[in-house]
Amino acid sequence: MMERIAHYRELAAQFRQWAENETVSEARDGLLDMARQYERSATELQASAATAKDAPGVPPMRDGTKVVRNGQSD
């Protein structure tokens, strides 16, 4: 999961860089929106990973994450 978080942050940075060089405001806004979406996804995944690590008694899935819904593990 940490690799995916890092990848999303790299993509966000790339979209921000493209936006800096964009002269068409609509295109620039679209690129910045994509950057925000990737950054938000990375932040949500990071929060999910932190929550999964703090969930006692929940066995990790194959990728090391834990699934917790409504305070109960699956």
Helix 2-21 to helix 25-54 angle (10° resolution) is 160
C-alpha angle 56-60-63 in degrees, rounded to nearest 5: 150
Q: Which amino acid type is present at position 55?
A: A
Note the pLDDT tens digit of each residue in 13-38: 999 999 999 999 999 999 999 999 99
| Paired residues of 14 in beta bridges | none
Residue 57: band (very low, low, confident or very high) from pLDDT cuts 50, 70, 90: low
